[in-house]
Amino acid sequence: HKCKKQLLWSRDPQDSAHLPACTAEGEWTYLPPLCQPTCGMSLINGSNPGIIDGDPSPLGNFPWHAGIYHREPNNGGWEQFCGGSLIRPNVIVTAAYCVVKESKDRSIQLMDPKNIRVALGKYYRDWNRFEPTEIKREVIKVKVPSGYRGTSTNFEFD
């Protein structure tokens, strides 16, 4: 087994104590190693990390980019309103202003996680446009820095 350049073994392939073996029942003694993407590395060889002359990035170029969607109050659909980055398998970092509501008196309230969704691996913004590379998830928890106060502090701690 060998992984492509941008992928890493999920388990050490040289660790002979954990090499997979087939039992008499036809089952593996443990799951064989998997090749997984390297966080922060494009899946495309020789890809350009920036956008030049307005050309779009190739499909799969930035798999850690997350589209952040909110539920439309009028029709219940999902609309992309912010972006973020996958920094752990279950953590997306984004700007604080993306996940709060600021009232006229400048008080801050976290958005309800039930009204937020995240999509990774999408090339097009449309939530309903299926793409074979997409991963969609519900949001469990929203957290912002305790010092964030929105416009009243000129978005400090955003």
Query: pLDDT by residue (tens digit) across 60-110?
Result: 677 778 999 999 988 989 999 999 998 888 899 999 999 998 888 888 888
Residue 12's closest CA among 27, 1, 22?
Answer: 1
The proportion of the chain whose per-residue pLDDT surpasses 70, expressed as a percent, equals 66
The pLDDT of residue 79: 94
* End-to-end CA, the chain: 44
Which pLDDT band, with edges at 50, 70 and 90, does 7 fall under?
low
The pLDDT of residue 95: 92
Pairing verdict, β 78-88 and 91-93: antiparallel
The pLDDT of residue 84: 95
CATH class of the domain at 65-153? mainly beta
The pLDDT of residue 2: 61
- Give the 3-state secondary structure of residue 71: strand
List, for residues 106-153, the tens digit of each pLDDT value: 888 889 999 999 999 888 899 999 988 888 999 999 999 888 877 777
**Strand-pair partners of 28:** 22
The pLDDT of residue 38: 62
Task: Show me where the domains of the chain are located.
Answer: 1-38, 65-153
Element (H, E) at 101: strand 100-102
The pLDDT of residue 137: 93
The proportion of the chain whose per-residue pLDDT surpasses 90, expressed as a percent, equals 28
Q: Percentage helix, strand, coil, to 5, in the chain?
A: 10, 30, 65
Q: Is the pLDDT of residue 43 over 60?
A: no
